[in-house]
Amino acid sequence: MRRDSGEETPVSLPSNPASPAPDTRPPAPIIETRGLSLRFGGATIVDDVSFGVPEGMFVSIIGPNGAGKTSLFNLISGLYRPSTGQVLLQGRDVTALPPFARVRQGLGRSFQLTTIFPGIPTLENARLAAQAGASGNFAFWRSAAANRAAGERAAWALETVGLRGRERVLAGSLAHGDKRKLELALLICTEPSVLLLDEPTAGVSAEEVPVMLDVIRRIRKVEGKTILMVEHKMDVVHDLSDRVAVLANGALVAYDEPDAVMADPFVRSAYLGVA
Ligand SMILES: Nc1ncnc2c1ncn2[C@@H]1O[C@H](COP(=O)(O)OP(=O)(O)OP(=O)(O)O)[C@@H](O)[C@H]1O
Ligand SMILES: [Mg+2]
């Protein structure tokens, strides 16, 4: 309807005097822990860990053997229940949710070798992971469209990790390095927003390590995923990370950019073994 008051209709919205300054707060973390602790018997395995990871960030978690890195991942993924504290995923408290429900909410944890079905082809392994990660009811899963979508996702994941051409090989017959690539493929098949990678280059031969790192880089670049990675190789950590978290005796003792963490005297003596 035209207004005939003679006033010009404003072309831009007036600024809201109630909020004059732009919002400069950092974005809410996609994954966050608050006062997270894990105790077994008298031992404190994870000690009051609070940290947040903004979306799209690559965070490495380092610390000596037994520092609690895997346990922290187990708390985040829901395999362990914390003694105290919370885990938040996209701002929602998921502390009470079992692992599969967290997967449905976008949390991907790398499959261990034991979850690969050795007696079936590589592509079928990936297809099963894609179906497990798909939302929808049972009837949907059984539909031809869902089958096709899972197959396409599986083929894409194998291509992304560099296993193209190995689709028909039984997973159990893959070389060790290729099995670790298959783990990553299974992980991205579930379309997670956040990936938890626990020592992805462990047991990978020296020549294959750069290949694995390229795969991780590709996953990050192509899909813009948020990644948390436990890794012992410092050059890898320095190369990939936006931030590095240091655990010692279950406690978070540093959380900063790689250069700052590696220069920290406490980290250098306690973890890197440099005086
Ligand atoms: N289920 C469990 N029951 C009892 N103790 C446990 C359990 N899981 C882990 N621990 C203990 O918690 C401590 C931390 O172990 P965790 O595996 O989290 O360390 P990590 O930092 O991942 O070590 P690594 O670098 O060797 O993988 C260790 O002392 C370990 O023995
Ligand atoms: Mg570990």
Provide the pLDDT confidence category of residue 205 given band limits of 50, 70 and 90: confident
pLDDT attached to residue 2: 44
Q: Find the angle CA(61)-CA(65)-CA(70) to the nearest 5 degrees.
A: 50
- For residue 210 and ligand 1, the question of a CB distance below 6 A is answered with no
Task: Confirm or reject: Cβ of 68 under 6 Å from ligand 1.
Answer: yes
The verdict on the CB of residue 81 being under 6 Å from ligand 1 is no
Rounded to whole angstroms, how far apart are CA atoms 174 and 161?
A: 14
- The ligand minimizing its distance to the Cα of 62 is 1
* Percent share of the chain, pLDDT over 90: 52
> What is the tens place of the pLDDT at every residue in 11-25?
554 555 555 566 666
pLDDT of the residue at 191: 85
User: Atom 27 in ligand 1: which residue has the minimum CA distance?
Assistant: 65
Distance from residue 150's CA to the centre of ligand 2 (Å): 31
**For residue 19, what pLDDT is reported?**
58
Which residue owns the Cα nearest ligand 1 atom 13?
A: 66
- List helix spans (H) across 105-161: 122-133, 138-142, 144-160
Distance 71 CA to ligand 2 centre (A): 7
> The pTM is what?
0.84
Assess whether pLDDT exceeds 90 at residue 3: no
Q: Indicate if the pLDDT at residue 82 is higher than 60.
A: yes
Pocket lining: 45 vs ligand 1, CB cutoff 6 Å: yes
Beta bridge partners of 86: 34
Residue 129 vs residues 117, 121, 188: alpha-carbon distances, Å:
11, 13, 9
Q: Is there an atom of ligand 1 within 6 Å of 40 CB?
A: yes
DSSP string, 185-200: HHHHHT--SEEEEEST
The pLDDT of residue 185 = 92
**What is the best residue among 70, 109, 201 to mutate for testing ligand 1's pocket, by most ligand atoms within 8 Å of CB?**
70
**Contact call for residues 196 and 58 (beta carbons, < 8 A):** no
Integer distance in angstroms from the first to the last C-alpha of the chain? 77
Given ligand 1 and candidates 45, 80, 231, which is best to mutate, with the most ligand atoms within 8 Å of its CB?
45
Q: How far is the CA of 181 from the centre of ligand 1 (A)?
A: 25
Determine if ligand 1 sits within 6 Å of the CB of residue 70: yes
pLDDT in tens, 22-63: 666 667 799 999 999 999 999 999 999 999 999 999 999 999
Predicted confidence at residue 145, as pLDDT, reads 80
What pLDDT, in 10s, does the model give residues 180-189?
A: 899 999 988 8
Ligand 1 nearest-atom number relative to CA 41: 4
Tell me what the mean pLDDT of segment 55-79 comes to.
94
What are the pLDDT digits (tens) for 219-239?
888 778 899 999 988 888 998
The CATH classification number of 31-270 equals 3.40.50.300
